[in-house]
């Protein structure tokens, strides 16, 4: 029965306080199918998945799995039925070995003790199946994020899973690793496994999936065969608006005689990064391109004092400043949205209002509190301005979707009225609509005279927004190109060659 | 500004609600067994009100005062084990300054050798220094709070012994007696001091942005630092404050018995203070805290002890009895139980709406 649906979810409804998270959503999947689940942040993708894995309780609807109705009550429950999930954040123990991580909780036993030989042998086999030749007896944190991600997938499929849910598995992988993952996905598909694939990378959707389902604002837009839909159509359906309106972004204009906002000379912290020479004009948007680990983040941290500089000079608005900690940088009207939103950005248990007021409050010191009324006004203003999707300002930031969390962090810094805003991967892991909104905000701020340093791994957005692009490699600046007349090819060849001359030759 | 909606489900889910319910239940049991448990009488001789309820508040003063600081420490995801030793040290210093002459004159009298202001200020100042030491070890050296404060927990009593050459002093100085045994507005002085401390700490943390910053550092230190919060300063202030409050508790304890006892003052105070905070609904993992909850927690602990004494339960059983009630309170507050209660509350609300 190849046509019988492996999974069928019908009329799913979930009510959260104040919002209907899912409204009569249908979802079905065949055996041996890769099915992409798409939608903006807050569209209800994760809610639907959590419904299937028993995290959320459905208010209405049925789930048929292999023809039988199921009521998963917890992730463990769903797991034992054969529904495995791999989350975006890696949920493994970094100090255990690879093999231990794969078998933790279900170690093969022999005469009442754990059979280590068996564990290591089976782990090695499993990883080999993923074309990974690694030492499974070494601790997990010895390996890169990509390998850790593979380990968590290996763990998920080793149990006789019939459905594998991959929630944004590729956001921390590079191109080769993504390809590897796709090979594995195709192998699993050939074995008859159904894979639900959630991602923000539309190219990947077209590269690997068979069908796709689009959600918008908790309702079903439709399920389509991959061959019957174009990328443009897809985006339009996802955001419910025409692409052109959103993507009509104009680069900021910078006067030739605009004053210099930031200038660094040989700034450095030995052991981290050295010899940072950089200048940013008022109202200019400077993009940092380069591979992961090329020193982009380190440069930003150095400028902001997250890592204190021990040598060189930093001049802001014509005045030499000494920045030893982030508070000094905030005092000098700098702002910094870090790369890892969860670890370095949000204060999960505090409300949106408190999160927005945090940096300004820190700048003023705790003895000069921002009154509740001011905080409320501030929160209302930014919720409206950045169209943050929330019932009210008292909601915990940890309960928002990634894109909305990013907007709150952005609001936190906008509230300090910075002269220079450093954004490290502000659009990572958020959907097309929110991405475009953040780009638009960045450019608007430039037009208001704020300088922006924009770090991103996605070359097209760097090229689309930047006035000037600095290309980095191995902790050094290897090239600088004008944003107007530059293509992905130029940047890629600078990265590859390591020098600008090499690229133009 | 919108007003917060009244919601039974929220109330059923709030931890402090259950702490208050637990306290009321214990009191109810007391009332059923001994109706005169609630009686409060005025005694003209001392100008004070007497009764079990007054006694509970009076005797819980030290723990309540210390637990105010402990709440902030725990909100920072730390613990302070040194508070009990600081109580002993504070008492020893006070008696040392009162009885600087003890090597010459052995009989206590209604006098102080050093100025009374020093008797009060020196112990408090020394405690603040000790607290700064704790804060320094944690924020600069990077020690874990439980280890850093273990140092003073162990050696604080030793320092107290050195201060008094290992001796126990007694005094009859009446101004000093006022702290622990005096009265104001018909209430025992420790209650008045507690009210002042609770009010001052609450105002400090909630009227300034200090409380939010403590929560922020407790929830996510890295993000707080990048937002410009000086977490080292916050840690220093919190530990210094807790030590200062321990000093006040030490003066009260010493004044109650007009003596010092470095081996027995403040024994287990750190545990009772942590317990008060936890019963009050603040999570040991740090983050959001509730000072009001802590006050209730501290009162619950004392109510249990009073209950045990009052009904003549053998004193050996006190600890076991205390543990029993605390288990009940903590279970009532636990996530699964509260979630279930909240569900019941929700259903009731829904029903009510339908009828209306």
Residue A325: the pLDDT is: 87
pLDDT tens-digit readout, A267-315: 888 777 778 888 888 888 888 888 777 788 888 888 888 888 888 888 8
Residue B250 has pLDDT above 90, yes or no: yes
The CA distance from B132 to the nearest CA of chain A, in Å, is: 19
pLDDT band at B65 (very low <50, low <70, confident <90, very high): very high
Residue A503: the pLDDT is: 43
CB atoms within 10 A of CB A344: 21
Residue B356: the pLDDT is: 32
Q: What are phi and psi of A222, to 5 degrees?
A: 165, 165
Q: Round to whole Å and give the CA distance between A367 and A167.
A: 44
- Tell me, yes or no, whether A323 and A390 share the same domain: no
Tell whether A415 lies on the interface with B, counting CB pairs under 8 A.
no
In this prediction, residues B22-41 reach a mean pLDDT of 79
% residues pLDDT > 70 (chain A): 92
Residue of B50, B77, B57, B56 whose CA lies nearest to B277: B77
- Tell me, yes or no, whether A130 and A203 share the same domain: yes
Residue B193: the pLDDT is: 94
Query: B209–A369: do the CB atoms touch at under 8 Å?
Result: yes
- Tell me, yes or no, whether A126 and A267 share the same domain: no
pLDDT tens-digit readout, B87-111: 999 999 998 888 777 666 667 777 7
What is the extent of the structural domain holding A398? Answer: 345-417
Q: Round to whole Å and give the CA distance between A283 and A451.
A: 4
Query: B224–A347: do the CB atoms touch at under 8 Å?
Result: yes
From residue B191, alpha-carbon distances to A105, B248, B301 in Å are: 53, 13, 16
The answer to whether residue A14 sits within a structural domain is yes
Residue A504 has pLDDT above 70, yes or no: no
In this prediction, residues B82-86 reach a mean pLDDT of 93
Mutate to test the interface with A, among B10, B207, B226, B347 (most CBs of A within 10 A): B226
Residue B3 has pLDDT above 60, yes or no: no
Query: B226–A376: do the CB atoms touch at under 8 Å?
Result: no
Residue of A nearest to B203 (CA): A367
The answer to whether residue A338 sits within a structural domain is no
Residue B234: the pLDDT is: 92
Residues of A in contact with B232 (CB under 8 A): none
pLDDT band at A3 (very low <50, low <70, confident <90, very high): low
Mutate to test the interface with A, among B228, B241, B283, B290 (most CBs of A within 10 A): B228
Residue B331: the pLDDT is: 78
Residues of A in contact with B216 (CB under 8 A): 347, 350, 354, 358
- Tell me, yes or no, whether A54 and A166 share the same domain: yes
In this prediction, residues A188-202 reach a mean pLDDT of 84
Q: Where are the domains of chain B?
A: 49-334
- Tell me, yes or no, whether A412 and A422 share the same domain: no
Q: What are phi and psi of A335, to 5 degrees?
A: -145, 150
Partner residues linked to A309 by β-bridges: none
pLDDT band at B66 (very low <50, low <70, confident <90, very high): very high
Q: For the ranges A72-86, A265-279, A393-407, B4-18, which has the lowest average pLDDT? A: B4-18
pLDDT band at B352 (very low <50, low <70, confident <90, very high): very low
- Tell me, yes or no, whether A322 and A466 share the same domain: yes
Residue of A nearest to B283 (CA): A349
Residue A27: the pLDDT is: 87
ipTM score of complex: 0.75
pLDDT band at A95 (very low <50, low <70, confident <90, very high): confident
In this prediction, residues A145-161 reach a mean pLDDT of 77
% residues pLDDT > 70 (chain B): 89
- Tell me, yes or no, whether A102 and A171 share the same domain: yes
Q: Which of A63-72, B29-38, B344-353 has the highest mean pLDDT?
A: A63-72
User: Is residue B296 within 8 Å of B245, Cβ to Cβ?
Assistant: no
In this prediction, residues A419-447 reach a mean pLDDT of 83
From residue B87, alpha-carbon distances to B70, B199, B278, B343 in Å are: 14, 21, 21, 44
In this prediction, residues A49-57 reach a mean pLDDT of 83
Of A382, A402, A417, the domain-final residue: A417
Residue A299: the pLDDT is: 87
Residues of B in contact with A362 (CB under 8 A): 213, 227-230
Q: Which of A36-40, A464-468, B77-81, B328-332 has the highest mean pLDDT?
A: B77-81
Query: B213–A361: do the CB atoms touch at under 8 Å?
Result: yes
Residue A505: the pLDDT is: 37
The answer to whether residue A194 sits within a structural domain is yes
- Tell me, yes or no, whether A99 and A164 share the same domain: yes
Closest to A343 (Cβ–Cβ): which among B2, B213, B222? B222
The answer to whether residue A340 sits within a structural domain is no
| Total of domains in chain A | 3
- Tell me, yes or no, whether A493 and A372 share the same domain: no
Residue B14 has pLDDT above 70, yes or no: no
- Tell me, yes or no, whether A461 and A404 share the same domain: no
- pLDDT: which is higher, A132 or A193: A193
Tell whether A301 lies on the interface with B, counting CB pairs under 8 A.
no
Of A417, A442, A463, the domain-final residue: A417
Full 3-state SS string of chain B: CCCCCCCHHHHHHCHHHHHHHHHHHHHHHHHHHCHHHHCCEEECCCCEEECHHHHHHHHCHHHHHHHHHHHHHHHCCCCCCCHHHHHHHHHHHHHHHHCCCCCCCCCCCCCCCCCHHHHHHHHHHHHHHHHHHHHHHHHCCCCCHHHHHHHHHHHHHHHHHHHCCCCCCECCCHHHHHHHHCEECCEEHHHHHHHHHHHHHHHHHHHCCHHHHHHHHHHCHHHHHHCCCCHHHHHHHHHHHHHHHHHHHHHHHHHHHCECCCCCCCCCHHHHHHHHHHHCCCCCCCCCCCHHHHHHHHHHHHHHHHHHHHCCCCHHHHHHHHHHHHHHHHHHHCHHHHHHHHHHHHHHHHHHHHHC
Residue of A417, A419, A393 whose CA lies nearest to A404: A393
The answer to whether residue A290 sits within a structural domain is yes
Q: What is the CATH number of the domain that holds A298?
A: 3.40.50.300
In this prediction, residues A102-111 reach a mean pLDDT of 72
CB atoms within 10 A of CB B94: 29
- Tell me, yes or no, whether A130 and A252 share the same domain: no
Residue B5: the pLDDT is: 46
Annotate A431-448 with DSSP letters as a single string. -HHHHHHHHHHHHHHHHT
- Tell me, yes or no, whether A51 and A65 share the same domain: yes
Q: Round to whole Å and give the CA distance between B228 and B231.
A: 9
User: Is residue B252 within 8 Å of B120, Cβ to Cβ?
Assistant: no
Residues of B in contact with A421 (CB under 8 A): none
């Amino acid at each position: 029965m190849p046509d019988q649906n492996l999974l069928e979810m019908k009329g799913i409804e979930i009510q959260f306080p104040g919002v209907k998270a899912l409204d009569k959503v249908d979802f079905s999947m065949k055996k041996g199918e890769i099915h992409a689940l798409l939608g903006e942040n807050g569209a209800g993708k994760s809610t639907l998945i959590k419904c299937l894995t028993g995290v959320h309780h459905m208010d209405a609807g049925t789930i048929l799995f292999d023809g039988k109705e199921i009521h998963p009550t917890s992730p463990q429950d769903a797991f034992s039925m054969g529904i495995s999930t791999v989350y975006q954040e890696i949920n493994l123990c970094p100090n255990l070995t690879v093999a231990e991580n794969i078998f933790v909780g279900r170690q093969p036993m022999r005469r009442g003790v754990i059979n280590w030989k068996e564990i290591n042998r089976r782990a090695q086999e499993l990883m080999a199946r993923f074309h990974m030749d690694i030492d499974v007896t070494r601790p997990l944190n010895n390996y890169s994020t990509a390998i850790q991600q593979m380990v968590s997938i290996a763990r998920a499929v080793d149990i006789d899973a019939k459905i594998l849910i991959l929630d944004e598995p590729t956001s921390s992988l590079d191109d080769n690793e993504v390809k590897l993952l796709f090979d594995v996905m195709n192998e699993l598909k050939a074995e008859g496994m159904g894979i639900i694939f959630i991602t923000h990378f539309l190219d990947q959707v077209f590269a690997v999936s068979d069908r796709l389902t689009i959600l918008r604002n908790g309702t079903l837009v439709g399920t389509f065969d991959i061959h019957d839909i174009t990328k443009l159509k897809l985006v339009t359906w996802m955001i419910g608006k025409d692409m052109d309106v959103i993507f009509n972004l104009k680069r900021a204009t910078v006067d030739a005689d605009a004053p210099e906002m930031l200038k660094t000379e040989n700034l450095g912290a030995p052991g981290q990064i050295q010899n940072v020479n950089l200048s940013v004009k008022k109202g200019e948007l400077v993009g940092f391109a380069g591979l992961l680990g090329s020193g982009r983040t380190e440069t930003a941290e150095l400028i902001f004092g997250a890592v204190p500089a021990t040598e060189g000079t930093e001049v802001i608005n014509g005045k030499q400043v000494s920045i030893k900690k982030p508070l000094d940088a905030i005092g000098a009207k700098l702002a910094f949205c870090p790369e890892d939103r969860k670890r370095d950005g949000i204060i999960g248990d505090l409300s949106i209002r408190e999160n927005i007021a945090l940096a300004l409050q820190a700048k003023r010191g705790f003895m000069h509190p921002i009154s509740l009324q001011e905080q409320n006004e501030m929160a209302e203003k930014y919720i409206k301005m950045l169209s943050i999707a929330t019932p009210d300002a008292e909601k915990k930031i940890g309960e928002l979707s990634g894109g909305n969390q990013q907007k709150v962090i952005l609001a936190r810094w906008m509230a300090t009225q910075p002269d220079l805003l450093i954004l490290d991967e502000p659009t990572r892991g958020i959907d097309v609509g929110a991405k475009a909104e953040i780009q638009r905000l960045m450019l608007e701020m430039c037009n208001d005279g704020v300088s922006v340093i924009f770090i991103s791994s996605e070359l097209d957005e760097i090229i689309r927004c930047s006035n000037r692009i600095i290309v980095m490699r191995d902790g050094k600046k290897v090239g600088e190109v004008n944003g107007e007349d530059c293509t992905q090819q130029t940047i890629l060849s600078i990265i590859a060659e390591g020098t600008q001359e090499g690229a133009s030759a | 500004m919108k007003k917060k909606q009244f919601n039974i489900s929220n109330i059923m889910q709030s931890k402090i609600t259950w702490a208050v319910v637990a306290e009321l239940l214990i009191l109810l049991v007391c009332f059923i067994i001994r109706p005169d448990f609630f009686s409060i009488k005025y005694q003209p001789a001392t100008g004070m009100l007497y009764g079990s309820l007054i006694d509970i508040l009076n005797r819980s003063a030290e723990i309540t005062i210390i637990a105010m600081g402990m709440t902030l420490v725990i909100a920072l995801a730390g613990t302070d084990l040194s508070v009990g030793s600081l109580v002993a040290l504070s008492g020893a210093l006070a008696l040392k300054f009162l009885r600087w002459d003890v090597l010459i004159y052995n009989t206590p009298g209604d006098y102080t050798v050093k100025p009374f202001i020093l008797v009060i200020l020196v112990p408090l100042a020394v405690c603040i220094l000790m607290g700064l030491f704790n804060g320094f070890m944690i924020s600069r050296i990077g020690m874990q709070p439980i280890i850093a404060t273990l140092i003073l927990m162990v050696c604080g009593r030793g320092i107290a012994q050195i201060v008094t050459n290992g001796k126990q002093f007694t005094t009859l100085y009446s101004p000093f007696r006022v702290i622990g045994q005096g009265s104001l507005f018909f209430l025992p002085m420790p209650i008045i001091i507690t009210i002042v401390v609770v009010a001052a700490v609450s105002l400090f943390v909630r009227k300034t942005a200090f409380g939010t910053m403590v929560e922020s550092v407790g929830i996510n230190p890295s993000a707080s630092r990048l937002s410009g919060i000086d977490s080292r300063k916050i840690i220093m202030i919190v530990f210094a404050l807790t030590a200062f409050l321990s000093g006040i508790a030490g003066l009260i304890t010493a004044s109650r018995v007009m003596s010092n006892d470095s081996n027995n003052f403040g024994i287990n105070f750190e545990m009772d203070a942590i317990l008060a905070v936890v019963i009050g609904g603040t999570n040991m993992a740090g983050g959001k805290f509730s000072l009001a909850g802590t006050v209730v927690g501290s009162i619950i602990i004392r109510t249990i002890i009073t209950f045990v004494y009052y009904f003549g339960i053998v004193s050996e059983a006190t600890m076991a009895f205390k543990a029993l009630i605390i288990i009940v309170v903590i279970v009532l507050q636990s996530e699964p139980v509260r979630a279930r209660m909240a569900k019941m509350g929700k259903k009731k609300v829904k029903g009510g709406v339908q009828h209306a």
